[in-house]
Amino acid sequence: MLLRGFDVAPEVEVRGENDRTVFERFRLRSPDILVDTVRSSRHQIVLVKPLCDSQQVDRLLDLDGMRPGKAVWAWRDPYDRARSEVSKFGDSNLQALRAIAAGTDFGMWQGERLPDASREIVQSFDVDAMTAETAAVVFWAVRNLLYFDLGLAGRDDVFLSSYDALVRNPAGHMRRLCEFLAFPYRVELHEHIQPRDTFESRPLDVDPKAAALADDVSSRLAAAEAAHAKGWGQDT
């Protein structure tokens, strides 16, 4: 949603995960290629979506050869995300968790920079008996814990963005994001987003332990986002 909105702005060059200059199989090709791409751009902002490299956000913000950048850490309700994940990719998160639990995840982006505490969380589950839906919820939790593990919470150059807050109030959320980016707000950035609530009526059957974990991480993210919004003097 954010990429589609900013892609209409002439000041912004969008490099999504399908861009072959910057990405290869959804991974960033190299820091040097990223730096060269940004430096050669004639646009005010180069917007890059390193979804499978979000564990590198702190390092990407500190790359040499570029002016200081900013990051948006986007997060979604864990159960809605799990539904979407399983419908599109089946048990891919389950396979990743099994590799992480077994310590055989070398070279897999899913396990990069996971701290010991998160690995212990994964290992505390019976991954052999786990459903794809439960795995998607646990995977969501350990990936979003990276926001705290990497020290991104409270950084002035990282914006915590809730998908649910965005679709509830596109104009208000986009105004706050534009203020963070020092970018002129315009309605075209969000006019493709229909305001709505995001609560699913269809229940998702997951392990209660996984649900408790996800609820705890959700509460931490919501509290961090509320603190950011208060710091900006706005509501999400």
- The 10s digit of each residue's pLDDT in 130-167 is 999 999 999 999 999 999 999 999 899 999 999 999 99
Residue 37 and residue 69: Cα distance in Å, rounded?
A: 14
Residue 142 and residue 165: Cα distance in Å, rounded?
A: 21
Phi-psi category of residue 158: left, alpha or beta, with phi > 0 → left and psi -120 to 50 → alpha: beta
Question: What is the pTM assigned to this prediction?
Answer: 0.92
Categorize the per-residue pLDDT at 236 as very low, low, confident or very high, splitting at 50, 70 and 90: very low
CA angle 178-182-186, nearest 5°?
Answer: 40
- The 10s digit of each residue's pLDDT in 91-115 is 999 999 999 999 999 999 999 999 9
- The 10s digit of each residue's pLDDT in 51-94 is 999 999 999 999 988 888 999 999 999 999 999 999 999 999 99
Using DSSP bridges, classify how beta strands 27-28 and 23-24 pair: parallel, antiparallel or unpaired: antiparallel
- Per cent of the chain over pLDDT 90 is 86
- On the question of pLDDT at 216 being above 90, the answer is yes
